């Protein structure tokens, strides 16, 4: 039997300049090959050309501009990267764009992600299931119907109990076109729910000053609001994790009210006492959190808020711990996780005075979780009698196990549907809620309207 082989898209590559430019070129070439692109040393036969430039001395600038001009004449589709891409003329305009306005994209040096984003936009990779080692959506550890979408790496904060910034560095946001492309590929592969993650989701784009990227031929800012608006158009469940309560989060609430993203926020508050939050060096700790939650819920009453807290932080007094319990009473959070403080090697909090014994840290954690149980149960009881949409995660002999908009996988509760045997994993279903306990809902299939 013969089969038709998908034609691999071909990228012409021209590299000028010093060893650093050569190293950038190697990275780009490696990525292109890994994604199944063919590489060509000439213009003919190439679907697009990448010119890696040098801008060190005038002669190098001339040589690079000539190479771009030649690539445009011979091929027409040209992406420029490298040092010359970062150079401006006396008026602050891109030197390359002034000389060659028809280039498709211009990036500076060390811009692997941006170059790949531009290549993907103008010459999408072709997936060949017979050749590619990985499916187009990549290798995922999650079930087929939901996927984590990582939007940035690293973190600009320096919380005293955390060593992530020293391990992963400062915030680096992924280009928005790249993130949206990944989301689209996941949607095409059958994913029904995207879980947006990063160390600090609300900070998306801060490091690149909310730079304008491109998606679907349109300019779109590298910012959480724009990202969520675009994700909301894919027709999937979009769930936000690790969102700090900055004022900018208020802008997302209308997207929830309009049904574009799920009415769900995972906000790791970690504590409620201003003194402890300061010692923790938590982001957005000075925000008026309770007012903010009230305003969010006024607009979106069904908003589910999940949070985590640390008990027994160094120096935490019984009064400060009680402040945290009072906060839980007022905030009426839907889901709460808790951790006893544990010193991490290299974290600055280890040097704080007033370390508490392990049994105190653990006892406070147990007390916090007991305290929250009643609140979580009451929040779920409000759903009894309601008709809700769920996404099916599993089927067993007792029926279907699904999740509602208020349940993230693994960390929140589930919805048990006793008569859901005929449902399928990854299917959306309408159910009527008949009962609940602390974490989970019990439902039956809803009768057709």
Binding residues (CB under 6 A) for ligand SF4: these are 155, 157-159, 162, 164-165, 199-200, 283
- Look up residue 58 and give its two tokens: 């005038």
DSSP letters for 17-63: SSHHHHHHHHHHHHHHHHTT-EEESSSTT-SEEEEEE--SSHHHHHH
| Nearest distance, CB of residue 162 and ligand SF4, angstroms | 3
Distance between CA atoms of residues 367 and 362, nearest Å: 9
Q: Give the three-state DSSP class for 78.
A: strand
Contact 333, 309 (CB under 8 A): no
DSSP letters for 141-194: SS-TTEEEEE-EES-S---TT--HHHHH-S-EEPPHHHHHHHHHHHHHTT--EE
| Nearest distance, CB of residue 200 and ligand SF4, angstroms | 5
Q: Within 10 A of 401 (CB to CB), how many other CB atoms are there?
A: 19
Rounded to the nearest 10 degrees, what angle do helices 19-34 and 112-122 cross at? Answer: 40
Q: Which of 20, 103, 30 is nearest to 68 (CA)?
A: 103
User: Nearer Cβ to ligand SF4, position 411 or 434?
Assistant: 411
Q: Which of 369, 370, 200 is nearest to 282 (CA)?
A: 200
| Nearest distance, CB of residue 159 and ligand SF4, angstroms | 3
User: Nearer Cβ to ligand SF4, position 154 or 232?
Assistant: 154
Burial 148-171 (b: 16+ CB within 10 A, else e): bbebbebbebebbbbebbeeeeeb
Contact 46, 17 (CB under 8 A): no
User: Nearer Cβ to ligand SF4, position 200 or 266?
Assistant: 200
| Nearest distance, CB of residue 264 and ligand SF4, angstroms | 19
Distance between CA atoms of residues 86 and 41, nearest Å: 24
User: Nearer Cβ to ligand SF4, position 145 or 282?
Assistant: 282
Instruction: State the residue for tokens 């769920």.
Output: 390
| Nearest distance, CB of residue 283 and ligand SF4, angstroms | 6
User: Nearer Cβ to ligand SF4, position 143 or 337?
Assistant: 337
Contact 271, 309 (CB under 8 A): yes
| Nearest distance, CB of residue 391 and ligand SF4, angstroms | 28
User: Nearer Cβ to ligand SF4, position 198 or 376?
Assistant: 198
User: Nearer Cβ to ligand SF4, position 40 or 160?
Assistant: 160
- Look up residue 415 and give its two tokens: 């919805």
| Nearest distance, CB of residue 231 and ligand SF4, angstroms | 22
| Nearest distance, CB of residue 193 and ligand SF4, angstroms | 23
User: Nearer Cβ to ligand SF4, position 292 or 403?
Assistant: 292
| Nearest distance, CB of residue 434 and ligand SF4, angstroms | 39
Distance between CA atoms of residues 239 and 140, nearest Å: 18
User: Nearer Cβ to ligand SF4, position 165 or 409?
Assistant: 165
């Amino acid at each position: 039997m013969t089969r038709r082989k998908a034609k691999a898209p071909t990228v012409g590559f021209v590299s000028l300049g010093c060893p650093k430019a050569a190293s950038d070129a190697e990275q780009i070439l490696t990525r292109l090959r890994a994604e199944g692109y063919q590489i060509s040393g000439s213009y003919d036969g190439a679907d697009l050309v990448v010119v890696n430039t040098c801008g060190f001395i005038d002669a190098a600038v001339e040589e690079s501009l000539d190479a771009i001009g030649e690539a445009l004449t011979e091929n027409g589709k040209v992406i420029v990267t490298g040092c010359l891409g970062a150079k401006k003329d006396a008026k602050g305009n891109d030197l390359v764009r002034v000389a060659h306005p028809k280039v498709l994209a211009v990036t500076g040096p060390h811009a692997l992600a941006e170059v790949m984003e531009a290549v993907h936009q103008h010459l999408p990779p072709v997936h060949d299931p017979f050749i590619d080692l990985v499916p187009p959506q990549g290798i995922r550890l999650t079930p087929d119907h939901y996927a984590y979408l990582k939007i940035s790496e690293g973190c600009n904060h320096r919380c005293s109990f955390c060593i992530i910034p020293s391990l992963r560095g400062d915030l680096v946001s992924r280009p928005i076109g790249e993130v949206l492309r990944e989301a689209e590929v996941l949607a095409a592969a059958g994913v029904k729910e995207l879980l947006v993650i990063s160390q600090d989701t609300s900070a998306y784009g801060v490091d690149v000053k909310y730079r304008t990227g491109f998606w679907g031929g349109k300019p779109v800012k590298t910012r959480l609001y724009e990202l969520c608006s675009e994700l909301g158009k894919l027709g999937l469940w979009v769930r936000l994790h690790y969102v700090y309560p900055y004022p900018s989060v208020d802008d997302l609430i209308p997207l929830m009210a309009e049904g574009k993203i799920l009415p769900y926020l995972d906000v790791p508050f970690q504590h409620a006492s201003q003194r402890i939050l300061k010692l923790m060096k938590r982001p957005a700790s000075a925000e008026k959190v309770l007012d903010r939650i009230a305003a969010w819920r006024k607009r979106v009453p069904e908003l589910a808020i999940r949070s985590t807290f640390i008990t027994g932080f160094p120096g935490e007094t019984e009064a400060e711990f009680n402040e945290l319990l009072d906060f839980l009473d007022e905030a009426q959070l839907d889901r709460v996780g808790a951790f006893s403080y544990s010193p991490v090697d290299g974290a600055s909090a280890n040097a704080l005075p007033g370390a508490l014994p392990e049994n105190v840290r653990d006892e406070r954690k147990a007390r916090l979780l007991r305290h929250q149980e009643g609140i979580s149960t009451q929040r779920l009881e409000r759903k009894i009698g309601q008709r809700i949409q769920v996404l099916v995660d599993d089927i067993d002999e007792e029926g279907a196990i699904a999740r509602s908009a208020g349940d993230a996988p693994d960390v929140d509760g589930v919805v048990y549907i006793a008569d859901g045997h005929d449902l399928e994993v990854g299917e959306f279903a309408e159910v009527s809620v008949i009962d609940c306990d602390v974490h989970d809902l019990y439902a039956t299939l809803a009768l057709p309207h």
